[in-house]
Amino acid sequence: MMGKRLRIALNVLLLLWVATGDVMERPVNGVAPPTLAQSNRPHYVSTHLIVGFRPGVQLPTEATVAAEEQPEKLFQDLVRTNGLREIARLVPTLPLPRDRQRASEALARRAPRSLSEAALLLERHGLDRMAVLRFTRPIDPRRLAETLLRRYPTVIEFAEPDYVLRSHIVPNDPLFSFQWYLRDRQVFPERRADIWAPEAWDLTTGRSDVVIAVIDTGVDTTHPDLVRKLFVNPGEIPNNGVDDDGNGFVDDVSGWDFLRRDNDPDDENGHGTWMSSLAAAETNNALDIAGVSWASRILPLKAGDERGNFQLSNIIRAVSYAVMMAQFGVRVINMSFGGVGASQQGLERALAAANDARIIAIAAAGNDGQNNDVTSWFPSDLTTRLDNVVAVAATDRFNQLASFSNYGRVSVDVGAPGVAILGLTTRNPSAELGRSDGLITGNGTSQATAIVSGVAALIYSAYPESTPIQVKVRLLANADQIPELVGKLVAGGRVNAFRALDRDEVPPAPITDLRLLSNVTPLALTWTATGDDGHVGRAAFYDIRYSVSPITASTLRFAVRVKDPPRPQPAGTGETWAIPLNLPSRTYYFLIRVFDNAGNMAESNQVEITVP
């Protein structure tokens, strides 16, 4: 009886600790752990500048070249005035398909199946024309970017700082011997705050050909719960010193270290191992913890250093590498990092290429407790512009938004458990998040993001032909609605893995009466709502787009996406939407895509409107 009372008392204390949101921290080797809130001032590498060159500009084919050896006037001027030292390509020189047209048509229907097809996607978004300029002394990257764009408008398409982003964790010592976020058995079913993992596992436990690329601080490749979960590149012969598959990376058998530029993505921090374990640790093996997607493989792409800092240039390289590996099943990218900063064009282009490669990118919303609709947070804010980016907030065991979590009705998509999350870490105790037993518990949108990455892998496992937007819609439309999250997140709730696997093959009926509403100011569109299944029920989401030219399947990605479209009403309801007042005077073409909760889609008729 005494033992039972003690266990009950401990459980109560633990629940009270979680409810208060307090963080139990301990120094690691005399270094204080990361604080809850990060600085709102953008950080960047003071000796780097990321540059995107215009089509037709030829970059050196080598990965890195000395700037003083390049004859182009731009490089010589920068050597003389700013101490330009070297030019480093962000993507290796890759072979392109012999029949580009045929390859493009195939890629409109499926993911790339060869390195040359992946290269075509990277070229499509200009990744083959991007480089990092490295200087011998500090520069003002923003001012220099403005100067170069003004002086060399026919050479440079964009230039931006090499921002430094941070991992999103709030560590504390292991306290729980169970993973409440997968299945919480201490509450009534109607009060569950977990992701309903066991119910989802009755439908699928994942597939080994669905690979999760974890862009992070690396992974402890010898951890017993991860050692058999690493992706193996079938095109590479281990340790022969040769780039067998011709992708620009020698002996890249199981990932890459973009900091040291070698094939050993060892984890010197612990964060990457933690995120990898949450998404896909080996499960049902009587060891340590369960991952969300049991069978999925992990592709560790090391872009973060021992302190959890990520250079933007290395993130772009890692995303581009994931695109190259799409031919072998990479379908999910986990991005448990972020920070404030200006728009990051290079990363947006890399993620757009990932979208074309049928890869979804799950991004942490941040741990500053801020409204991301007011203060932009990258890369999660790219959800408002790209179909394949999902921004994730953190929720707690009481179905509340975690006290530290960022939010945003327009720019943060869905919540997931992010408080007292048990996972694996590097067993090197000298690492910042290292623990000798390889176990760690902590809080953060990082952990919430990794959990959603595992759910996305389950969706791809059950529905392998899905597009990223279909997976995204499944994650959002099937979230458990939580009153406290309505108005703070796009989905208004917490992800539910079981519901996200719902089988529904009946799409909404197309909207056939989209038109300009007569005699109203400002201009507005009107239409009749269709349903979830044909003309029955209620659809999940609208995607409203406009362009200055007719929108086709090949030009849809260039059309502007409305950030805050209305939610569908029940079938048969008349709906209206006001055209933005700030649109310049000219003719536009408008289109609405209608999605149901399973990602099935129907398009509206297209309407041509002249804005006076």
Percent over 90 (pLDDT), the chain: 82
Question: What CA–CA distance (Å, rounded) separates 162 from 344?
Answer: 9
pLDDT given at position 337: 96
User: Do 521 and 486 reside in the same domain of the chain?
Assistant: no
Which backbone phi and psi does 158 adopt, to 5 degrees? -160, 160
**Per the structure block, which two tokens stand in for 206?**
């994942």
User: Do 472 and 596 reside in the same domain of the chain?
Assistant: no
Residues 6+ apart with CB under 8 A from 456: 331, 332, 360, 362, 390, 471, 475
Identify whether the C-beta of residue 394 lies closer than 8 Å to the C-beta of residue 412: no
User: Do 413 and 487 reside in the same domain of the chain?
Assistant: yes
Identify whether the C-beta of residue 515 lies closer than 8 Å to the C-beta of residue 607: yes
User: Do 413 and 522 reside in the same domain of the chain?
Assistant: no
**Average of pLDDT values for 46-60?**
95
pLDDT given at position 58: 87
User: Do 264 and 391 reside in the same domain of the chain?
Assistant: yes
Q: Would strands 389-395 and 414-417 be described as parallel, antiparallel, or unpaired?
A: parallel
User: Do 292 and 233 reside in the same domain of the chain?
Assistant: yes
Whether 308 is covered by a domain: the verdict is: yes
pLDDT given at position 9: 34
pLDDT in tens, 385-412: 999 999 999 999 999 999 999 999 999 9
Whether 102 is covered by a domain: the verdict is: no
Examine the fold and report which residue of 475, 500, 525 is the final residue of a domain before the chain moves on: 500
**Average of pLDDT values for 532-544?**
96
Please determine, for residue 30, whether its predicted confidence score (pLDDT) is greater than 60.
no
Whether 420 is covered by a domain: the verdict is: yes
pLDDT in tens, 136-170: 999 999 999 999 999 999 999 999 999 999 887 65
Please determine, for residue 28, whether its predicted confidence score (pLDDT) is greater than 80.
no
**Average of pLDDT values for 65-73?**
95
Identify whether the C-beta of residue 203 lies closer than 8 Å to the C-beta of residue 189: no
User: Do 329 and 406 reside in the same domain of the chain?
Assistant: yes
Question: What CA–CA distance (Å, rounded) separates 289 from 248?
Answer: 36
Identify whether the C-beta of residue 474 lies closer than 8 Å to the C-beta of residue 460: no
User: Do 481 and 404 reside in the same domain of the chain?
Assistant: yes
Please determine, for residue 311, whether its predicted confidence score (pLDDT) is greater than 50.
yes
pLDDT in tens, 452-470: 999 999 999 999 999 999 9
Distances, alpha carbon 85 to alpha carbons 135, 256, 316, in Å = 5, 25, 21
The residue ranking higher by pLDDT, 10 or 140, is 140
User: Do 496 and 530 reside in the same domain of the chain?
Assistant: no
Provide the residue range defining the domain that includes 316.
Answer: 166-500
Question: What CA–CA distance (Å, rounded) separates 451 from 453?
Answer: 5
pLDDT given at position 41: 73
Question: What CA–CA distance (Å, rounded) separates 265 from 275?
Answer: 14
How many CA atoms lie less than 13 Å away from 174 in the CB half-sphere? 18
pLDDT given at position 301: 98
* E strand or H helix that includes residue 443: strand 439-443
What residues act catalytically? 216, 271, 446
Strands (E) located in 92-225: 130-135, 156-160, 164-167, 170-172, 211-216
Question: What CA–CA distance (Å, rounded) separates 397 from 441?
Answer: 14
Q: Name the average pLDDT for the chain.
A: 90
pLDDT in tens, 342-365: 668 999 999 999 999 999 999 999
pLDDT given at position 17: 37
pLDDT in tens, 485-519: 999 999 999 999 999 999 999 999 999 999 999 88
In three-state secondary structure terms, 586 is: strand
Whether 159 is covered by a domain: the verdict is: no
Examine the fold and report which residue of 500, 528, 547 is the final residue of a domain before the chain moves on: 500
In three-state secondary structure terms, 272 is: helix
User: Do 571 and 441 reside in the same domain of the chain?
Assistant: no
User: Do 537 and 484 reside in the same domain of the chain?
Assistant: no
Whether 25 is covered by a domain: the verdict is: no
Please determine, for residue 426, whether its predicted confidence score (pLDDT) is greater than 80.
yes
- Residue 336, Cβ density class (10 Å: 0-12 exposed, 13-18 middle, ≥19 buried): buried
Please determine, for residue 171, whether its predicted confidence score (pLDDT) is greater than 60.
no
pLDDT given at position 172: 37
Whether 141 is covered by a domain: the verdict is: no
Lowest mean pLDDT among 173-177, 192-196, 232-236, 477-481: 173-177
Lowest mean pLDDT among 18-27, 209-218, 368-377: 18-27
* E strand or H helix that includes residue 364: strand 360-364
**Per the structure block, which two tokens stand in for 97?**
């398909």
Q: Would strands 601-603 and 586-595 be described as parallel, antiparallel, or unpaired?
A: antiparallel
Whether 204 is covered by a domain: the verdict is: yes
Lowest mean pLDDT among 81-95, 166-180, 185-199: 166-180
DSSP result, 212-242: EEEEES-B-TT-TTTTT-B---TT--TTSSS
User: Do 244 and 279 reside in the same domain of the chain?
Assistant: yes
Please determine, for residue 1, whether its predicted confidence score (pLDDT) is greater than 90.
no
Question: What CA–CA distance (Å, rounded) separates 406 from 412?
Answer: 8
Here the CATH number for the domain that contains residue 226 is 3.40.50.200
Buried b (16+ CB within 10 A) or exposed e, 416-428: bbbbbbbbbbbbb
pLDDT grade, residue 481 (50/70/90)? very high
Examine the fold and report which residue of 450, 473, 500 is the final residue of a domain before the chain moves on: 500
pLDDT given at position 11: 37
pLDDT in tens, 272-298: 999 999 999 988 776 778 899 999 999
Our measurement of the distance from residue 419's CA atom to the centroid of its chain's CA atoms, rounded to an integer in Å, reads: 20
Identify whether the C-beta of residue 472 lies closer than 8 Å to the C-beta of residue 351: no
pLDDT grade, residue 32 (50/70/90)? very low
pLDDT grade, residue 192 (50/70/90)? confident
pLDDT given at position 178: 62
* Number of domains within the chain: 2
Here the CATH number for the domain that contains residue 522 is 2.60.40
pLDDT given at position 191: 75
Q: For residue 164, what are the β-bridge partners? A: 311
Whether 5 is covered by a domain: the verdict is: no
pLDDT given at position 263: 97
pTM here is 0.90
Please determine, for residue 27, whether its predicted confidence score (pLDDT) is greater than 50.
no
